[in-house]
Amino acid sequence: MHITEAMALELSSRIPGMMPEADLRFLFQYAQKMLTNSTWIEVGTWKGRSLAAVVLGLPARTTVLAVDTWLGTEDEIEGTPFAEAVGSDKPFEAFQKVARGLHFLRPEIRIGSLRSYSGTVARVLGRDEPHTADVIFLDGDHSYEAVIEDIRLWTPVLKLGGTLMGHDRQLPGVARALKDLEFSFHEGGECIWYVEDYNP
């Protein structure tokens, strides 16, 4: 089934989440540029809004891995409609429903999930399957310390010359981390930062 950009945006925008449409569009377009047999890892998936845009854009025979606790970060979503879901299984159940729908639409894409903490998964993959991901998209904990730690721990999982990408570049913790790491990054959509040909 051919998925147009308009279809992808309509479908992904229906999924609850805080990612703006401009960022969904950017992710869909970036995913379209990936090669067959590529691997895309998303850290911090929540209900699957951004993951849907990626899956709908990827070429056949690619792999997507979602990494999340699906427990939420209370201080980040306090005061939002998502706050009531913190600590419950509702976000994971919602994600599973989205993943099933995506598999129905794109059965040729391998969609996996690991329900654990970012650092735990990164350490295992960095040790057992280093340099396997073509893109790593970081959208988990946005505190300064967590962003620094995520970049440090996920770098060994990224292929040399791969793309390190993240969300919410405007948030203080993310902005400070990118500045302190002296990243020369590109901006995509409304809130995405990315570094192509990443070779730390």
Decide if 125 is inside a domain: yes
Decide if 82 is inside a domain: yes
CATH number at residue 109: 3.40.50.150
- Find all residues with CB under 8 Å of 33, minimum gap 6, and list them: none
This prediction's pTM: 0.92
Decide if 17 is inside a domain: yes
Check whether 61 has a pLDDT greater than 70. yes
First-to-final CA distance of the chain: 38
Decide if 144 is inside a domain: no
Decide if 68 is inside a domain: yes
Decide if 76 is inside a domain: yes
Owning domain of residue 127: 5-138+149-198
pLDDT digits (tens, 9 = 90+) for 69-111: 998 765 554 544 544 555 568 889 999 999 999 999 999 999 9
Check whether 113 has a pLDDT greater than 50. yes
Write a three-state SS string for the chain: CCCCHHHHHHHHHCCCCCCCHHHHHHHHHHHHCCCCCCEEEEECCCCCHHHHHHHHHCCCCCEEEEEECCCCCHHHHCCCCCHHHCCCCHHHHHHHHHHHHHHHHCCCCEEEEEECCHHHHHHHHHHHCCCCEEEEEECCCCCHHHHHHHHHHHHHHEEEEEEEEECCCCCHHHHHHHHHCCCCCEEECCCEEEEEEECC
> What pLDDT is attached to residue 4?
96
Decide if 16 is inside a domain: yes
pLDDT above 90 coverage of the chain, percent: 86
Domain count, the chain: 1
pLDDT digits (tens, 9 = 90+) for 162-200: 999 999 999 999 999 999 999 899 999 999 999 999 987
Check whether 32 has a pLDDT greater than 70. yes
Average pLDDT, the chain: 92
> What pLDDT is attached to residue 80?
47
